[in-house]
A and B are shown apart, each in its own frame.
Chain A
Amino acid sequence: MSAFFRDLLRFRRGPWEMLASIIIALGVFMLMQPFSLFGYTYSFIITLVGTVMFLIVSHFPE
């Protein structure tokens, strides 16, 4: 776990891609879940942030 945060601070690709993937997955879940309209409303911005983040961090060093 500490290695994850250390690599995150050193701007390494692996943990940042993982973080972006979690944000995208959360956004997609919020878009399609049947429980909360509030979640649906904020789903797109979360997916967009995750996707843009993924595009940027996939150029970080390994």
Chain B
Amino acid sequence: MANGIIERAAKLTPAPFARKIKGLSDRAIAWIFITPTIIILLAVNIFPLIWTIWLSFTNFKANRPNADVKWIGLRNYERILTDSDIWLTMQATAHFLIWTLVLQVLIGFALAWLINQKFKGNDLWTTIIVLPMMLSPAVVGNFWTFLYQPQIGLFNYVFAFLTQSDPTSFSMIGDVALAPWSIVIVDTWMWTPFVMLICLAGLRSIPDYIYEAAECDRASKWRQFWTITVPMVLPFLMLAVLFRGIENFKMFDLVVQLTGGGPGSTTELTSINLKREAFEKWRTGYSSAYAIILFVTVFGLASIYVKALNKVKER
């Protein structure tokens, strides 16, 4: 079948062209095949990066494309790295990143462990738990703003019922102290199932005979958990943390929909701040420098993390 197609294609190739490509080496043919991909990669990934690096050293403003573009050296970087407002934005991002990762890993692993215990209807429970992950962040942000309403919100009523307090006495989104926690709760609610699924894959990949051997050696359940389950799920867990860490570092849609960066700028994460600088204040050169700082940070962290992941896999 395949040979027939090849023969037909060879017959249909115009004779002058066929003569030309007959003399090409395998290496040259390989280059012909991969050149379009390389060109697209350069145009889509590499060129914008180099362009952004160049812009970060200029005073370019995208809303004034005809204005003179001046080379201002490291001034954009100096301004960003001495700006206490951006420093606060970095702290808000760190708070969001650390707490979402901690909660998602703990709850995700616990849920995966529970789902992995064979019980009646665990497929149904898996589907129910995974549902939040399938929703659009815009939808999630919208309905959680209703849940967080002090007057009519279900969240306030449940919390007040459990703590025997007045439901209208606090506002998750409007309070400076509670707003950073409100975005942590929603992101954890939405993305814990993702961590759970990855952990579940890890748990299901552990062969039963390892536990059986441990039983024969009279290892307790606690010891089996720390010496078999945790080490064998660790690479999966680290992969989940890498994915969620990078995603949460650039978190935008959910938080914009939920709090819009407020109250004040308490929940203004770096990506929201960057968007304001780039597309509301139109400081393109400045925001390019900002983007490069974030890029280097994520790239550096991901490098260490991938190295650690490879070490864990080698064990």
Answer whether A and B are interacting partners. Answer: yes
Per DSSP, are chain A's interface residues mostly helix, strand or loop, or mixed? helix
Asked if A24 meets B81 with Cβ closer than 8 Å, knowing A32-B94, A44-B296, A47-B296, the reply is no
What is the CA–CA distance of A34 and B94 in the complex, to the nearest angstrom?
Answer: 10
Give the complex CA separation of A47 and B301 in angstroms: 9
Tell me whether A54 and B303 are in contact in the complex, defined as CB-CB below 8 angstroms, given that A32-B94, A40-B90, A41-B81 are known contacts: yes
B84 an interface residue at 8 Å Cβ cutoff?
A: yes
Q: How many angstroms between the C-alpha atoms of A17 and B94 in the bound complex? A: 25
Measuring CB to CB, which residues of chain B are less than 8 angstroms from any residue of chain A? 77, 81-82, 84, 87, 90-91, 93-94, 293, 296-297, 299-301, 303-304, 307
Whether the Cβ atoms of B81 and A27 lie closer than 8 Å is no
The smallest beta-carbon distance between B301 and chain A, in angstroms, is: 6
For the complex formed, measure the closest distance between the CB of A12 and the CB atoms of chain B, giving whole angstroms: 15
Closest to A23 in B: B300
CB distance from B176 to the nearest CB of A (A): 15
Shortest distance between the CB of A28 and any CB in chain B (Å): 6
The 6 closest A-B pairs by CB, nearest first: A32-B94, A24-B300, A51-B300, A21-B304, A41-B81, A40-B87
Given contacts A31-B297, A33-B91, A44-B297, 16 further A-B contacts (CB under 8 A): A21-B303, A24-B304, A25-B304, A28-B300, A28-B301, A31-B90, A32-B91, A32-B93, A34-B91, A37-B82, A40-B90, A41-B82, A42-B81, A51-B296, A54-B304, A55-B303
Whether A51 lies near B299 (C-beta < 8 A) is yes
Q: Classify the interface of chain B: helix, strand, loop or mixed.
A: helix
A61 to B39, CA, bound (A): 32
Query: Which residues of chain B have C-beta atoms less than 8 A from A33's C-beta?
Result: 91, 94
Contacts of B293 in A (CB 8 A): 31, 44
With both beta carbons as reference points, the residue of chain B lying nearest to A22 in the complex is identified as B304
Which residues of A from 45 to 62 have beta carbons under 8 Å from B? 47-48, 50-51, 54-55, 58
Give bound CA distance, A31 to B91, whole Å: 8
Cβ-defined contact, B87 with A44, below 8 A: no
- A interface residues, Cβ below 8 angstroms from B: 17, 21, 24-25, 27-28, 31-34, 37, 40-44, 47-48, 50-51, 54-55, 58
Q: Contact between A28 and B297 (Cβ–Cβ < 8 Å)?
A: yes
Residue contacts A-B, CB under 8 angstroms, 27 given: A21-B304, A24-B300, A25-B304, A27-B297, A28-B300, A31-B90, A31-B293, A31-B297, A32-B91, A32-B93, A32-B94, A33-B91, A33-B94, A34-B91, A37-B82, A37-B87, A40-B90, A41-B81, A42-B81, A43-B81, A44-B77, A44-B81, A47-B296, A50-B300, A51-B299, A51-B303, A54-B304
**The residue from A25, A34, A37, A48 contacting B296, defined by CB atoms under 8 A apart:** A48
Alpha-carbon gap, A48 to B81, bound state (A)? 14
* Residues on A with beta carbons closer than 8 Å to the beta carbon of B81: 40-44
Contact of A37 with B301 in the complex, beta carbons under 8 Å: no
> Knowing A37-B84, A43-B81, A44-B293 touch, does A27 contact B90 (C-beta < 8 A)?
no
B84 touches A47 (CB 8 A): no
In the complex, the chain A residue whose C-beta lies closest to that of B88 is: A34
Chain B residues with CB under 8 A of A54 = 300, 303-304
Give Cα A17 to B259, complex, Å. 40
Q: What A residues does B84 contact at CB under 8 A?
A: 37
A58 to B81, CA, bound (A): 29
CB of A47 within 8 A of CB of B90, answer no
Nearest-Cβ distance from residue B300 to partner chain A, whole angstroms: 4
